[in-house]
Chain A
Amino acid sequence: MTALTHAHPTAVKGSATAVLKAEARLFLREPGALFWILAFPTVLLCILGSVPSFREPQADLNGLRVVDLYVPIVILLAMIVSGIQSMPPVLTGYRERGILRRMSTTPMRPGALIGAQIALHGAAATLSAALALAVGRIVFDVALPRQLLGYLVAFALATLATLAVGGTVSAVGRTTKITQAVGSLVFFPAMFTAGLWMPVATMPDVLRHIVNLTPFGAAAQALDAAAAGDWPSWTHLGVTALWAVALIAAARRWFKWE
């Protein structure tokens, strides 16, 4: 239909950095988004951690405390808030307002704007995760991940999957309003499968098997294993990776530039 998707051969040197810088400045001007992505997950961890019984080791949790289980969950929460709640309306808004279209009349590709927003939301989720890990360690004495590399791999795949979900949501949503609605529709199941209401490890068998097939359920299991010191199961990593690949393809296929 339109010619916008055609690749520009060579963008001007340094222009991608300029776009990233400008978008980062705009990101910092959204106090609401910054609170929900950066502060809210850690605040939630602190609220849960302040319940005395959640700081008692539980026999049926293999001697772990509830607060231990919730560190990976609030990390997934940070990703979900960033990638599924905050990012899609921004991307759709850029299309709806003709910002991508205007950008495509310059030597800069409109994809640079989308790429910058995806990178910034990924970075914000990562920062929020680091904050949750640090507060968990310092305030509640939650052990840092014992299998660090495995934890990082699981984290990276989960972030990719979340951003891909967000990209697909903004590809499907024609207007900002529709995108917000679709985003909330995905937001709650995503939080549930991540284990916010009931950690995946404590779910009944049948439910856990189903949740293990979702990107966040599998990611939660992978993070739990790496936190405990084991290399995450390839099945869990594979499920998250598969979702990421499929949704990146879907977002690329369906995303409209105007």
Chain B
Amino acid sequence: MPRSSTLMPMAVIEVSGLHRAYGDRKAVDGVSFAVEEGEIFGILGPNGAGKTTTVECVEGLRRPDTGRIRVAGYDPVADRGPVTRVLGAQLQESELQPKITAGEALELYAACCPDPADWRALAERLGLTGSLGTRFAKLSGGQKQRLFIALALVGNPRIVVLDELTTGLDPRARRDTWRLIEDVRASGVTVLLVTHFMEEAQRLCDRIALIDRGRITALDTPSGLIERTASGTEISFRPSAELDTEQLAALPSAVSVTRKDGRVVIHGTDETVSALLSLLAARGITAHQLRVTEATLDDAYLDLTGTGTDT
């Protein structure tokens, strides 16, 4: 039976002190996190950061060097059988037998699970009904990807691990897949999601762990991560009259003031915006081409992983 966690009540995935090296290279270097039941938990990070190794340890495909992992209370390596019954996995890179049809693959995987979902209904929701008779080798990249998602879900898992969920999908299929994942979560399934796409992480995830060089550099909600960035809001405009830089820098919450090609660029927060507008109004200065842009998860990502600056 699942044990209760000391980290967090209701944690369905617990990872603590995970280390995994390939030869001299430390792929995962002390990662700890806990995923609550019913949560969509994202793992975000640059290529080679250790995301896939981390989830492969959760899936039981790789044995950690050190560290403790529990999935619904089970050890993924020692309790292989029970873990495969509660966890469905979509792997980043893998194929099926070239001549197996999509329908046969779904039927086969359903037969391997103790309490399978209706694979025909699942195929319909993923837009695969028309390609059930198509052999794997003849499926398009997007169809293959949707088939792998279906195979991860066909066992009616409590937890589903999706590694690069929407890679290879066109924007429309990507949005359809996101809606499906939200539905899956709404039915009580916990989702562990590895992704490259900020938009996807921002849209789907309740919490995100940013992994860089094998370590978690930040773990927060998407909006929490955005708030952490130094430059929350960027204001830029072309003033109709000269403005004093020091006066602008003294605006509440302003972080930096720069000038470029006659444009003034101020990094700050919402507070800075309203103070600036009052200042301009008081001086009778017009702000031409005023642009206010909010920081996105992209900015947070670049700030927190240091991928923007070479080290």
Contacts and interface: CB of A to CB of B under 8 A. Distances in A.
A3 interface: yes
A15 B60 CA distance: 21
Contacts, number: 93
Nearest to B89: A105
A59 interface: no
A11 B155 CA distance: 13
B33 interface: no
B113 A12 contact: yes
B112 A15 contact: yes
A98 B99 contact: no
A242 interface: no
B97 interface: yes
A20 to B, nearest CB: 10
A98 B59 CA distance: 15
A107 B93 CA distance: 20
Nearest to A106: B112
B284 interface: no
Interface in B135-153: 151
Interface residues of A, number: 33
Given A6-B77, A6-B80, A25-B104, A18 B91 contact: no
Q: Size class of B's contact patch?
A: 20 to 34
Contact of B91 (A15, A22, A30, A101): A101
Contact of B59 (A6, A25, A105): A105
A47 interface: no
Interface in A1-41: 1-4, 6-12, 14-15, 18-19, 22, 25-26, 29-30
Given A12-B114, A99-B97, A107 B108 contact: no
Contacts of A213: none
A75 B93 CA distance: 41
Nearest to A113: B97
Nearest to B96: A99
Given A99-B97, A105-B91, A2 B62 contact: yes
A175 interface: no
Given A97-B94, A103-B112, A105-B87, 18 more contacts: A1-B63, A2-B61, A3-B77, A9-B80, A9-B81, A12-B114, A15-B111, A18-B111, A18-B112, A22-B104, A29-B99, A101-B61, A102-B96, A104-B61, A105-B59, A105-B61, A107-B113, A108-B112
26 contacts: A2-B61, A2-B62, A3-B61, A3-B62, A3-B80, A6-B80, A7-B80, A8-B84, A9-B80, A9-B81, A12-B111, A12-B112, A14-B111, A18-B107, A18-B108, A18-B112, A97-B95, A97-B97, A99-B95, A101-B61, A104-B84, A105-B59, A106-B109, A106-B112, A107-B84, A107-B155
